[in-house]
């Protein structure tokens, strides 16, 4: 299987490729140029592995929550590839799923895990996961003061970048997207309907 993965929803742009059990990875140094650099990076990683778009088995991307613009960039690219490549499968993964799935910390059956991700201002996205790294709640948006009370109820708290809380840090990038996508592909639970995971309204203010 040849799986292409990219991550554009958390302030940057990175691309990973799994081909013949070999993993390749590239990331952009520019944190604000996802739309300009994503396809250039995809073309580069395919060329470096002597592959074409037609060789891909699946394309995976993060669907949010995260940057509204970044989410749209990733999903538009994946949908465009699907339109041109009828046989390719699409795999969408949430950023909170990525945190839970890519944690290297073992949990017991009784333990509860909370994945958190910074939103705008003093707000956070949160979601509970069970010991099998499956979602045990819907995604919620809470204030920092609420989070400070909630996180005490959990045995493990995972985050990408949260300075105000003692958490276990997990990277969100194309490699972590790929890691989760591999498991989904093997279970044949791909979803060709990529839908943006917008939990909050856009942070837009009229003058």
pLDDT at 32: 65
pLDDT at 34: 74
Are 55 and 7 in the same domain?
Answer: yes
State the pLDDT at residue 71. Answer: 93
Q: What is the pLDDT of residue 104?
A: 82
Give the pLDDT confidence score for residue 62 in this predicted structure: 95
The verdict on residue 139 lying in a domain is yes
> In the block, which residue shows the tokens 């041109």?
84
20: left (phi over 0), alpha (psi -120 to 50) or beta: left
Are residues 39 and 133 located together in one domain of the fold? no
- CA–CA separation, 24 and 10 (whole Å): 20
Question: Are 126 and 175 contained in the same domain?
Answer: no
Are 12 and 109 found together in one domain?
A: no
| Domain span at 143 | 103-169
Residue 55 carries which DSSP code? G
What is the pLDDT at residue 44?
Answer: 96
- The reply to whether 87 and 17 lie within a common domain is yes
CATH number at residue 137: 3.30.420.200
Both 9 and 82 in a single domain? yes
Residue 196 lies in a domain: no
Give CA–CA dist 185/181, Å, rounded. Answer: 6
Q: Domain holding 77: CATH number?
A: 3.30.420.40
Identify whether 206 is part of a domain: no
Q: Count structural domains, the chain.
A: 2
The pLDDT value given to residue 202: 66
pTM score: 0.91
pLDDT at 31: 63
Residues in the chain where the model's pLDDT stays below 70: 31-33, 107, 163, 202-205
Q: Where are the alpha helices (DSSP H) in 93-199?
A: 95-101, 144-150, 174-186
* 139, 199 Cβ separation under 8 angstroms: yes
Per the domain annotation, does 73 fall within a domain?
A: yes
Strands (DSSP E) contained in 53-132 are 58-62, 89-93, 113-118, 123-129
């Amino acid at each position: 299987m040849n799986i292409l993965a990219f991550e554009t929803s958390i302030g940057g742009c990175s691309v990973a490729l799994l081909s013949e059990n070999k993993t390749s990875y590239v990331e952009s140094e520019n944190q604000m140029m996802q739309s300009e650099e994503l396809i250039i990076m995809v073309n580069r990683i395919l060329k470096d592995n002597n592959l074409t778009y037609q060789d891909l088995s699946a394309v995976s991307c993060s669907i949010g929550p995260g940057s509204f613009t970044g989410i749209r960039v990733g999903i538009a690219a994946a949908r465009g590839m699907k339109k041109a490549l009828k046989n390719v499968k699409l795999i969408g993964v949430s950023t909170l799923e990525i945190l839970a799935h890519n944690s290297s910390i073992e949990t017991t059956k009784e333990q509860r895990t909370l994945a958190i991700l910074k939103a705008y201002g003093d707000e956070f996205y949160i979601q509970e996961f069970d010991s099998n790294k499956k979602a045990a709640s819907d995604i919620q948006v809470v204030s920092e003061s609420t989070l400070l009370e909630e996180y005490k109820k959990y045995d493990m708290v995972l985050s990408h970048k949260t300075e105000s809380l003692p958490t276990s840090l997990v990277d969100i990038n194309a490699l972590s997207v790929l890691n989760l996508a591999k498991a989904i592909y093997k279970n044949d639970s791909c979803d060709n309907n990529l839908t943006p995971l917008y939990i909050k309204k856009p942070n837009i203010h009229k003058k």
